Chain A
Amino acid sequence: MIHVENAHKRYRLRKVLDGVSFTAQKGQITCLIGMNGAGKSTLLKAIMGLTPLSKGSIRVDGVQSSRELYEKVSFIPDHTAMPGGYRLEEGLRFMADYYHSWNEARAAELMTFFNLNEGDRVGNLSKGMAAKFGLVLGLAADTEFVLMDEPFSGIDLFSRELIGEVFSSRLIEDRGVLITTHEIDEIEHLLDRAVLLKDGKVARDIDCEQVRDEEGKSVLDVMREVYRT
């Protein structure tokens, strides 16, 4: 379980996170929702130790900042995070070189699934192709959790559908997924939990199934309630 507790973060004078607490369970898809600048990406980066919190703590399976974190949690940022001059095969080799959890067979399977060419250079990929390659890098490792930062942002309809398929596939099964997005249409029906951020705080933390059954509302309806008031 990923447990974020009382997370605070300031950028200069602006409070981006103001006491955010939530959990993301293994085997569930948890979505962090918020307007631009709500601190969604900052939270993911903080979980991965890519930006320090001003206050608060983050624990993964009860452990705070361990060296094994990156073997346990993979992060798919909103860019490929590989040098532009690299060929995709070099990117895959980089991952294989450093991660014990790297699964080459799965990487090959994903490359085929997304129709990516190993000889292409990262810098020449379109936004959609780069997002798919990011998913290959993040999903090919045998990690327990996957964090995804805006995987649908700026991507064409067919690529979005293809990426959406990943969420209902065995690639995600049994893992804990924490995803940030504004565009929840593609995956709304797959979400287990949604954490809605507003003004640096958690405005709502919902069990999607429960809200659907008991209140007859979709995540989008809850978003309207939170962000239109």
Chain B
Amino acid sequence: MSHYFKLLALEVRRFRFVLAGMMLYTMIIEVLALAQQINSYKHRFGLTNGVTDEGSVPPSLSFANLIINTQRGFALAIVIPMAVLLAYVLLIWYRDWLGRHPFIYRQLMVPGGRTPLYFAKLTAFLLFVFGMLAWQLLLVAALQLEYAWLSPEWMKAPSVFTDAMYASRVFQLILPLDFTEFLINYGFGILLVLLAFAGILFERSYRIRGLLIGILYLVLNVVLFIYSTHAFDGFLYPDEQLAVCLTIFGLEVAAALWISLKLINRKVSA
């Protein structure tokens, strides 16, 4: 167990600068995008002393509405870290095989078996994903403060935190407010990571043959899971359909873990 925590700390330490860079990038883009949007709205009406030329006060703009108008900026802030994390599913493994001094030799030779290595990489990756998610939540709270600070009084309108989260399509994707939807999105995401890890270990064990097996394995599992969510429409009650999906999900997770641990302990080559 202690080796697992040490390996986890090692994985986190090795990614810390990239993670910090992504957090900084997201913050800068979102803060700038919001500031630019506030500024552009403020100057849209050519105000003098807080009133338009016709003497009327322009309509207010709530924080949530401001986010609706800033879709592209928020997408840019979130999609790039998402892409980096997606690439890191591969890199977290392949990085150790690359370079002049492949580190995988040491990692595979850590006493006490290789199971802790697998789980350290898996947990580290999930920590990065949920760390970014938590950071995004903090940023939304900080952006609300930015809105309160930069917006003139006539522009301010009340809006609740959840409205802001619903306002952006990217936010809806990364943090669905419906808990079931959250579980489905992240459950499917974790399943994909497990399948990708198994695919990578197939490739690292059997090289070109393993690459084909890995891709086939991943595609078959994804197709089976998606198929199971629609296959019984009209035949089963919703609860029964959910049970089928959960069973397939559980079986695929268990199989991916079993295959990955077998491969890393018995077949993988440095």
A52-B266, A82-B106, A98-B6 are known contacts. Are A71 and B111 too (CB-CB below 8 A)? yes
Alpha-carbon distance between A25 and B100 when the two chains are bound, in angstroms: 32
Q: A45-B270, A98-B3, A98-B6 are in contact. Are A82 and B111 (CB under 8 A)?
A: no
> How far is the CB of A154 from the nearest CB of chain B, in Å?
12
B14 CB within 8 Å of chain A: yes
A89 to B133, CA, bound (A): 35
Residues of B near any A CB (own CB < 8 A) = 3, 6, 10, 14, 99-106, 108-113, 266-267, 269-270
Find chain A residues with CB under 8 A from B109 CB: 48-50, 70, 75
Closest to A49 in B: B108
Residues of A within 8 A of B111 (CB): 67-71, 98-100
Interface residue? A113 (CB, 8 A): no
- Answer yes or no: A122 CB below 8 A from chain B CBs: yes
List the 10 closest A-B pairs by CB distance, nearest first.
A81-B105, A50-B270, A51-B269, A80-B101, A70-B111, A81-B106, A70-B109, A79-B101, A98-B110, A83-B103
Chain B residues contacting A97 (CB-CB under 8 Å) are 6
Q: In this assembly, does A37 line the interface, its C-beta being within 8 Å of a C-beta of chain B?
A: no
Q: Which residues of B contact A45 (CB under 8 A)?
A: 269-270
Q: How far is the CB of A174 from chain B (nearest CB, A)?
A: 21
- Is A22 part of the contact surface with B, judged by Cβ < 8 Å? no
Q: List 15 A-B contacts (CB under 8 A).
A: A49-B108, A50-B105, A50-B109, A51-B269, A67-B113, A68-B111, A70-B110, A79-B101, A80-B101, A81-B104, A83-B14, A84-B99, A94-B10, A122-B101, A130-B101
Q: Which of B6, B112, B113, B267 contacts A52, CB < 8 Å? A: B267
Task: State which residues 177-191 of A face B: CB under 8 Å.
Answer: none
Closest chain A residue to B110 by CB distance? Answer: A98
Chain A interface residues (CB < 8 Å from chain B): 45, 48-52, 67-71, 75, 77, 79-84, 94, 97-100, 122-123, 130
Chain A interface, >50% SS class: loop
Min CB distance A11 to B, Å, is 9
Q: Which residues of A contact B101 (CB under 8 A)?
A: 79-84, 122-123, 130
Inter-chain contacts of B269 with A (CB < 8 A): 45, 50-52
B5 to chain A, nearest CB (A): 11
Closest to A42 in B: B269
Distance A97 CA – B6 CA, assembled complex (angstroms)? 8
Give the complex CA separation of A69 and B108 in angstroms: 12
Among B110, B113, B266, the most chain A Cβ lie within 10 Å of the Cβ of B110
Determine the chain A residues whose CB is within 8 A of the CB of B102 once the complex forms: 79, 81
A70 to B108, CA, bound (A): 10
Q: How far is the CA of A83 from the CA of B6 in the complex (A)?
A: 16
CA distance A28 to B6 in the complex (A): 35
Inter-subunit contact A84/B100 (CB<8 Å): yes
The interface residues of chain B lying within 8 Å CB-to-CB of A51 are 269-270
- Give every chain B residue within 8 A of A130 (Cβ-Cβ): 101
Q: Which residue among B102, B105, B110 has the maximum number of chain A CB atoms within 10 Å of its CB?
A: B105
Q: How far is the CA of A213 from the CA of B156 in the complex (A)?
A: 98
Q: Which residue of B lies closest to A125 (CB)?
A: B101
Q: Give the chain A neighbours of B270 by CB distance below 8 A.
A: 45, 50-51
The docked-state distance in angstroms from the alpha carbon of A50 to that of B14 is 23
